[in-house]
Structure 1
Amino acid sequence: MFFQILSFLLDVAAGLLGGACLLRLYMQLQRIPFGNPVGRFVFALTDWIVLPLRRVLPSVKRWDLASIVAAYLIELSQFAILWLFVRGSPAVLPALALFGLVRLAISGAIGLVIVYAILSWVRADSPITDVIDRLAAPMLRPFRKIIPLVGGFDLSPLALLVVLQVLLIILANLQAAVLR
């Protein structure tokens, strides 16, 4: 029971901090200004780890390497803490952290699409709505080219959610195969 509680709490903490690092990276890739509430929240959560890493890892074009390495280190820390209780082979920790990072990115995209869909139904007039629209649009664009509006409804978020769920299933099976 203790291990399950610890695993859950670490998953929540690593998901929040690592997800914020990945969101920081994605916002920079999409050139979304950080002066909005989402940007300020992301900076507040990630500056403590990203800024020191930035001294060592410069950005490559628009790719903020410090943000992605920070997210990886957070995932690695999560699995290292759990390893202390399980005592398996420490050689699998880097691979587990990499799979965790990809799973975190996919889960973050799922969350973003769900929030986008909900906000599109209520049409909230908020600066957050604009940020979510700008973050979700690049992921939805390929689906919107293929899927027409059905009765005035945009089904592209649903299609993207299905694809992301399939990717999570593939990732879980790949992880199981690699770590055998």
Structure 2
Amino acid sequence: MIVDTVATILGGALLLRFWMQAIRVRPPASVAQFTFTLTDWLVKPMRRMVPGVGGYDWASLIGALLVVGLATTLYFLIGFTGEMVAVKVLYRFITWMIYGLMALLILEGVFSWVNPHAPLAPFVRALNEPLLRHLRRVVPPLGGVDFSMLVLLILLQIILMLVREIFPPYVLA
């Protein structure tokens, strides 16, 4: 449980770092300091082997995948085969990304209702904007209320259900 918690926090920070740089959002100083301090030890050495291409920080994304992989290799100890572990790593990596996006959407919703002028609100809004921009063309505001976040949250839940259906039962255990 402790290994899984540490891996989730580190993997989440690596995925956040990748997403911030992919959509070119400058984080507030506190978020940047936390994210970069937590992940620099892994990302900086990896950049020597995996350079950024196309404006993407591939070292952060691959680092997150490695963290998931290392945390999941503990399943070797309880009798899974190598193929089973690889499938479990992929499943956990995909679910981490989906849950991360869901958390950002919920956080933006809370900010919009509780304190839209909070220091982190513009940052979270900027992280969600690339995903919501396309949906807002399809789902216009109704009565001045933007339902695009709710629609995206439901779509992500459907994707999560599909992912669970695609992967074999031993991965979900």
Equivalent residue, structure 2, for 1:105: 97
Identify the match of residue 152 of structure 2 among 160, 177, 180.
160
d(CA) in 1 for partners of 2:170, 2:86: 12
Identify the match of residue 17 of structure 1 among 10, 32, 38.
10
Unaligned runs of 5+ in 1: 1-5
Match of 1:105, as an amino acid?
M
Equivalent residue, structure 2, for 1:80: 73
Structure 1 residues 140 and 44, CA, compared in 2 at 3 Å: closer, same or farther? same
Number of aligned residue pairs: give it.
Answer: 171
Query: Does the Cα contact within 8 Å between 1:140 and 1:156 map onto a contact in 2?
Result: yes
Give the secondary structure class of the aligned counterpart of 1:23.
helix
Structure 1 residues 151 and 35, CA, compared in 2 at 3 Å: closer, same or farther? closer
d(CA) in 1 for partners of 2:129, 2:72: 33
Unaligned runs of 5+ in 2: none
Equivalent residue, structure 1, for 2:161: 169
- Aligned CA RMSD, in angstroms, stands at 1.8
Equivalent residue, structure 1, for 2:131: 139
Structure 1 residues 34 and 156, CA, compared in 2 at 3 Å: closer, same or farther? closer
Do structure 1's residue 128 and structure 2's residue 120 form an aligned pair? Answer: yes
Equivalent residue, structure 2, for 1:44: 37
Per the TM alignment, residue 177 of structure 1 is displaced from its structure 2 partner at its CA by: 7.0
Per the TM alignment, residue 32 of structure 1 is displaced from its structure 2 partner at its CA by: 1.4
Which structure 1 residue ranges, 4+ long, deviate > 3 Å from structure 2? Answer: none
TM-score of the two chains, using structure 1 as the length reference: 0.87
Query: Does the Cα contact within 8 Å between 2:72 and 2:88 map onto a contact in 1?
Result: yes
d(CA) in 2 for partners of 1:16, 1:49: 14
Equivalent residue, structure 1, for 2:48: 55
Query: Does the Cα contact within 8 Å between 2:75 and 2:85 map onto a contact in 1?
Result: no
TM-score of the two chains, using structure 2 as the length reference: 0.91
Equivalent residue, structure 2, for 1:149: 141
Per the TM alignment, residue 22 of structure 1 is displaced from its structure 2 partner at its CA by: 0.8
Give the secondary structure class of the aligned counterpart of 2:54.
coil
d(CA) in 1 for partners of 2:20, 2:135: 21
Query: Does the Cα contact within 8 Å between 2:28 and 2:123 map onto a contact in 1?
Result: no
